[in-house]
């Protein structure tokens, strides 16, 4: 998977005008050995989390570059999370 999945994020008109069914699109940048392993374990245990959360595996959170988050926002993400 590429660093930023260029999948389709929903195009909204504004933060407060989305309606009750609106879910934010979150991109989670996760360390391979810590947070990504936890997300993988959650999947193995069949725990559910919203489909609007996209998990991106990084070799380490030290590898994270702010340009990754900026690219996610350019592609329509509503939020970005860095987790190690």
**CB of 83 closer than 8 Å to CB of 61:** yes
Q: Is 24 helix (H, G, I), strand (E, B) or coil?
A: coil
Average pLDDT, the chain: 82
Nearest to 25 by CA among 74, 65, 76: 76
Residue 18 or residue 84, greater confidence: 84
Residue 17 pLDDT > 80: no
pLDDT tens-digit series, residues 58-68: 999 998 999 99
Q: Is the pTM of this model over 0.75?
A: no
């Amino acid at each position: 998977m590429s660093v930023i999945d260029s999948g389709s994020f929903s195009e909204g008109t504004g933060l407060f005008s989305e309606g009750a069914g609106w879910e934010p699109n979150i991109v989670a940048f996760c360390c391979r050995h810590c947070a990504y392993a936890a997300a993988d374990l959650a999947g193995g245990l069949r725990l559910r989390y919203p489909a609007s959360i996209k998990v991106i595996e990084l070799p380490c959170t030290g590898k994270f570059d702010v340009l990754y988050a900026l690219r996610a926002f350019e592609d329509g993400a509503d939020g970005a999370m860095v987790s190690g």
